[in-house]
Amino acid sequence: MSENPTQKAFRDLPISAFDNLDEPVRVWDSNLRIVLANRAASDEQGAPISRMFDRLSSDSVLDEGQETEMSLVRKTFEEGIRQNTQINGIDANGDRWVTEIRTKPLIHESGGVSYVVATFLDRSAEKRLERQLIQSSKLVSIGELSTGIAHEIRNPLAGIRLGLDALDPVVSDDSDASEILTDITRDIARLDRVVSELLNFAKPKPHQPELFDVGKMFRQVSRFIRGIANKSRIRLKIQVEPEDLQVCADPYQIQQVVLNLTLNAIQAMEEGGKLTLEARRSENVNWSTSRDNPSGYRIIVRDTGTGIPEELMHRLFDPFFTTKQSGTGLGLTTSLSIVGKHSGELRINSTPDVGTTAQILLPEVEN
Ligand SMILES: Nc1ncnc2c1ncn2[C@@H]1O[C@H](COP(=O)(O)OP(=O)(O)OP(=O)(O)O)[C@@H](O)[C@H]1O
Ligand SMILES: [Mg+2]
């Protein structure tokens, strides 16, 4: 009986060592078949090795990750040199995962490539930390600047408003002038909103944590937004597990964050869509920095809106970054600051044309 590819690989390769590696490793032969995989590689697939062989050897449809892996392996066979690339996606929670695939050719005596070894490195935590660091450094500088500027703007603004009030009766007979006056007043109101948000961000009220019912808070938010949501034909779904989930945090501040995220979601679904508010406790929230307690709460706002192009992702939390005509661009900046004060994390992940998932992660607080 002729030897099958796995038997041949077992004979050719010193395999016992890598079966115990933490990193998933797979070995491919030149027919682009997996001939070996260590335990981690089969765990990663969630299937026993034997079944994986069947799956990857057959012509079954490959997912994007497998497709990428296979083309990287093919390139390694062709070029005879190491390759690497990253793949990423968003898991069921809304967390982004990033995996680096590296390949290495095994050259046989005649000089050709006999096998290609592919290893997988989980880069998710690193990426999360990177984003977190960028976010916090921006917040510090804006915090220092904004209070001063906000006051500089607010005082003359109050003067202008008084002046306009005085003019009002004078121009009341002139409809053109009245109209201009109305426009100016509206613009001033907008400036005032920017300034208030800026001050609010720079000097948020001290937060007063208490146990509150997340479901109730969601229902309160849904009352606020019902009108606009209906107008845009947005279906709202609330999912809290367990139904009476309690979280210890400042209820008003967290509600403000949820409202900001919800408004962003609605504004991204002008053509209608589905808005989901979810909350649950999670055994492991994959904190960006290592913590004693890996568990926490996830409060999630999902939409099926326009999504956010990758090249804008790193600007989301920048103060004044907005793509909207009447946006202040402070919604997310303020939200990040509030969540940070709760020792939590604010994560936003998005797929253009599919939608966006925003997550507030809060630590468990002992009281
Ligand atoms: N759910 C979302 N879907 C698509 N884009 C989003 C979403 N959330 C945020 N964005 C993008 O991020 C930008 C910044 O959001 P942020 O809430 O900080 O400000 P804004 O919504 O533009 O203004 P404001 O919140 O002051 O009304 C938005 O202008 C938008 O481009
Ligand atoms: Mg907003």
Question: Same structural domain for residues 296 and 227?
Answer: yes
Query: Are 351 and 232 in the same domain?
Result: yes
Of the candidates 233, 268, 262, the one whose C-alpha atom is nearest the C-alpha of residue 352 is: 268
The pLDDT, as a whole number, for residue 251 is 92
Which one, of 131, 122, 133, lies nearest residue 88 by Cα? 122
Which of 93, 123, 360, 162 has its CA nearest to residue 247? 360
Same domain, 191 and 309: no
- Is 149 found in the same domain as 227? no
Residue 56 has pLDDT above 60, yes or no: no
Ligand nearest to the CA of 324: 1
Q: Kindly tell me if the per-residue pLDDT of 54 is higher than 60.
A: no
Are 27 and 134 contained in the same domain? no
Q: 237 and 324: one domain?
A: yes
Whether the pLDDT of residue 51 is over 60: the answer is no
CA of 356 to the centre of ligand 1 (A): 11
Distance from the alpha carbon of residue 333 to the mean position of ligand 1, in angstroms: 10
Answer yes or no: do 187 and 215 share one domain.
Answer: no
Do 320 and 238 share a domain, yes or no? yes
110/346 Cα distance (integer angstroms): 55
Task: Report residues whose beta carbon is within 6 angstroms of any ligand 1 atom.
Answer: 260, 264-265, 268, 303, 305-306, 308, 316, 321-324, 327-333, 356
Distance 349 CA to ligand 2 centre (A): 15
Instruction: Please confirm whether the linkage preceding 363 is cis (ω < 30° from 0).
Output: no
pLDDT of amino acid 111: 83
Q: In whole angstroms, how far apart are CA 323 and each of 233, 273, 309, 315, 367?
A: 22, 20, 12, 11, 41
Q: Which domain holds residue 60?
A: 5-122
In this structure, the answer to whether residues 83 and 191 fall within a common structural domain is no
pLDDT in tens, 91-100: 888 888 888 9
C-alpha 201 to ligand 2 mean position (Å): 14
Q: What angle do CA 46, 93, 266 make, to 5 degrees?
A: 145
* Ion ligand 2 residue ranges (Cβ < 5 Å): 264, 331
| % of the chain with per-residue pLDDT over 70 | 86
Reduced to 3 states (helix: H, G, I; strand: E, B; else coil), residue 129 is: helix
Mean pLDDT within 320-324: 91
For ligand 1, atom 1, the nearest C-alpha belongs to 265
pLDDT in tens, 138-175: 666 666 667 777 778 888 888 898 888 888 888 888 88
In this model, does residue 296 exceed pLDDT 60? Answer: yes
Q: Over the stretch 125-141, which tens digit does the pLDDT of each residue have? A: 888 888 877 777 766 66
- Residue 170 shares a structural domain with residue 112: no
